[in-house]
Amino acid sequence: MFSTSLTGTDLLYLLQGAGVTLELTLCAMLAGTVVGVVIGILYTLLPRLSIPLAWFMDIFRSVPLLIQFVLFNAFKSIIGLNWSAFAVACVVLGIYTASFCGEIVRGSVLSVPDNLQRAGRSLGMSRGQSLRHIVLPLALRVAFPSWLSLSLSVMKDTALVMWIGIIELLRASQNIITRIQEPLLVLCIAGAIYYLMSLVIARIGVRLEKRWQEND
């Protein structure tokens, strides 16, 4: 007969860890999206002048996220920043997200046909107006699936913040495993929670895409 030492308090502890995971994901995607849109537009409008910025962002795309967490957490103590581990995680995840989001935006803007921009200019629009009213709305639809995939990826990457002392879903599950020694059950529950969170995000994305198609 199946028996377990897992209690309702343990399940609540896992859900609290899942809440931290969602908070980190939300902060990272909000900051990363805003900065990434600006970076992507700069890549498109000022390709040569933005080369140094592109090199800088390449660092965050290339260096493993775990190394970024550990290094930033160490440097903030060296330079005297009185930041919490949560703030460090949000900053690192935000920059990491922005480095990918910038490329997504750049590719999406470049995918908009030039003749649409010329049509806007022929109607008397300035370059900025053409970008704001024609290019960006179309690029948004192209970028959305990649942005949604990035959101799911960032949510899973939040598991690495346990290395700087944050108790999110994976760290919470490890703490419970250490106490009750039932790794298979606890990890299955944690995996199911990750799946449900991902499913909700994906479903919301699908509904948004359907609404766009209905409004076309």
Average pLDDT of span 114-127 = 70
Average pLDDT of span 179-193 = 92
Give me the residue spans of the domains in the chain. 22-166, 169-216
Please tell us whether the domain made up of 22-166 is placed in CATH 3.30.230.10.
no
The pair of three-digit structure tokens given for residue 181, joined into one six-digit string: 């020694």
Please, is 182 exposed, middle or buried when counting C-beta atoms within 10 Å of its C-beta (0-12, 13-18, 19+)?
Answer: middle
Judge contact between 93 and 166, C-beta under 8 A.
no
Average pLDDT of span 171-177 = 93
Judge contact between 90 and 23, C-beta under 8 A.
no
Residue 165 has pLDDT above 90, yes or no: no
Give Cα separations from 154 to 34, 73, 175, 198, 202 (angstroms): 15, 19, 22, 11, 13
Q: Give the pLDDT confidence score for residue 175 in this predicted structure.
A: 93
Residue 70 has pLDDT above 60, yes or no: yes
Average pLDDT of span 77-96 = 90
pLDDT, greater one: 35 or 212: 35
Judge contact between 197 and 26, C-beta under 8 A.
no
User: Distance (Å, rounded) from C-alpha 21 to C-alpha 15?
Assistant: 10
Residue 177 has pLDDT above 70, yes or no: yes
Task: Enter the pTM of the model.
Answer: 0.88
User: Distance (Å, rounded) from C-alpha 216 to C-alpha 214?
Assistant: 6
